[in-house]
Amino acid sequence: MEYMLLIYETVMDFEARTNAQPDTRMGAWRTYYQAMVDAGVYVSGSPLQRGATGATVRLQHGTRHVQDGPYAETKEQLGGSSL
């Protein structure tokens, strides 16, 4: 069985990131990542495409709703890795 770890971030925060700024979340992530690698459970860490390139699928009252393109009603950026 495999699991996926997802990390949420606003588009504004994602675009404002620089390598010059220390980020305590990234330090915590690197520690956790290394623990997964050391345990032999880490599979990959490819980023997802920007939200504007995808589709949003929601289930509301038993009906599936698919919304294409950059019209998702979310202000978060989604990234992750397979475990």
**30 lies in which domain range?**
4-82
81 has a pLDDT exceeding 90: no
Decide: 78 and 5 in contact? Cβ < 8 Å.
no
- Looking up tokens 């956790």, which residue turns up? 32
Decide: 72 and 51 in contact? Cβ < 8 Å.
yes
Confidence of residue 76 (pLDDT cuts 50, 70, 90): low
**Domain tally, the chain:** 1
Model's pTM, two decimal places?
A: 0.50
